[in-house]
Amino acid sequence: MEASARERFSLIIMDINLPFTNGIRAVRQMKEIAEQASTPVIFITASKVPSLREQAVALGAAGFFEKPYEPKEILAKIRELLGDPVKS
């Protein structure tokens, strides 16, 4: 959270289950900071609670992956969002 006030991120990958908060709440707070408002967010979670996906989508999630996920799928999403430096 402190870094989001100082830095402009190209992409945020956020686990929903965090020790002292949840990823949805953390991203909501980060998006209140003007510099992070348009930053794409990929959520990951081990939870199967359907409302988490709905909350993430409502927050504008660029991706949502349930664990276990295929690493190549999340990598493809990252490349889609940031561009593929291999192809550039």
Can you tell me the distance from the alpha carbon of 81 to that of 42, in angstroms, rounded to the nearest whole number? Answer: 10
Residue 58 confidence (pLDDT) above 90: yes
Phi, psi of 59 (to 5 degrees): -85, -5
Give the tens place of pLDDT for each residue, 1-40: 778 878 888 999 999 999 888 999 999 988 887 677 889 9
The pLDDT score that the predictor gives to residue 85 is 64
Whole-model pTM: value is 0.87
pLDDT of residue 7: 85
Domains with residue ranges and CATH for the chain: 2-82 (3.40.50.2300)
Helix (H), strand (E), coil (C) string for 21-65: CEHHHHHHHHHHCHHHCCCCEEEEECCCCHHHHHHHHHCCCCEEE
CA nearest neighbour of 25 among 66, 58, 74, 69: 58
